[in-house]
Amino acid sequence: MSLSFTNLDPQLQQILNNFSSLFDIRIAYYLSDGTETSIGKNQTISPYCTLLRQSLGYESTCLQLDDTKRKKAKETENIQSYICHGGCNEIIKPIFNDHDLLGFIMIGQTVTRPGIPDHIRKEAEKAGILHDLETTFEALPHFDNQKMKEIIQLFSELTDLVMLKNLIRHKELGPVREVIEYMKTKDHCIKLTDAARMVNMSESRLRHRFKVECGETFSHIRTSICMAKAWKLVEAGNDLSVREIAFQLGFQDELYFSKVYRNYFGCPPSKTDEFFIVENSEY
């Protein structure tokens, strides 16, 4: 299911906020396609993870690992706990209604190990950012193994409560669903003006419907869908230039497209193929 089918109860956001406040742990709800939509206390990605992604080139590795674990969580219909390439604990639990996947809730960027993994340390030293990386690593929430297990158990029970109380459910969204499905199936990314015309609504009314029914703005959803397409085009290669990809997606300005792409993924489209994948151990 996609965002167009999903309705979030306000109580879900309160649960995410409370969990984040209690443990200083980043917690977020993701749609079934991996789109992040709700974050506890709007907590941003940690400076440590940002350095890994932007300065050491691990953006692609992070996204692909999370995608792999989401798929495994979906297949097993069970929680997945693992340690990422940077040594952080990551936990994903799928949310189902019967066997209908509604999305995932994830916690992460916590540590139970004493220091940065050796391979990361070597890369950071070579890049001249070891001191910054060590400083940001120490700033992450640290727990001993027993405490981490207790947090994971509480997290699992909370997600069970979310399912029991139907805080996430599918809902027919009428014109909003029509617009989202259109954006997902077409190559280009339409503007709000065109979307409003398509469903015979005013721009202000459609913008309001998106916010009320989806919990996100039209612009946020459009960018998420558009960047998902952009990533696939860049990863596929096919000898398309950045300019050609930008124009195919409806961007008239190549530089603006590159800026949006970098802000969303943490790297310019021209550098995507330089990222690499490393082995990750199970938690």
Question: Per-residue pLDDT tens for 36-63?
Answer: 889 999 898 999 999 999 999 998 899 8
Highest mean pLDDT pick, 2-6, 134-138, 271-275 = 134-138
Q: Which fold has domain 175-274?
A: Arc Repressor Mutant, subunit A (1.10.10)
CB atoms within 10 A of CB 183: 20
pLDDT at 188: 77
Domain(s) labelled CATH 1.10.10.60 in the chain stretch across 175-274
Q: What is the DSSP letter of 165?
A: T
* CA 225/CA 214 separation, integer angstroms: 14
Q: Where in the chain is the domain with CATH 3.30.450.240?
A: 3-170
- As beta bridge partners, residue 81 has 91
CA–CA distance, 275 with 152 (Å, rounded to integer): 31
Q: Name the one residue in this structure whose structure tokens are 């940001």.
A: 136
For tokens 């604990």, name the residue. Answer: 89
Q: Are 65 and 181 in contact (CB under 8 A)?
A: no
pLDDT of residue 171: 61
Amino acid at 55: S
Counting residues of the chain whose pLDDT is more than 70, the rounded percentage is 92
Is 3-170 CATH 3.90.280.10?
no
| Position 218 pLDDT exceeds 90 | yes
* Torsion, CA 68, CA 72, CA 78, CA 82, rounded to 10: -40
Q: What is the DSSP letter of 111?
A: B
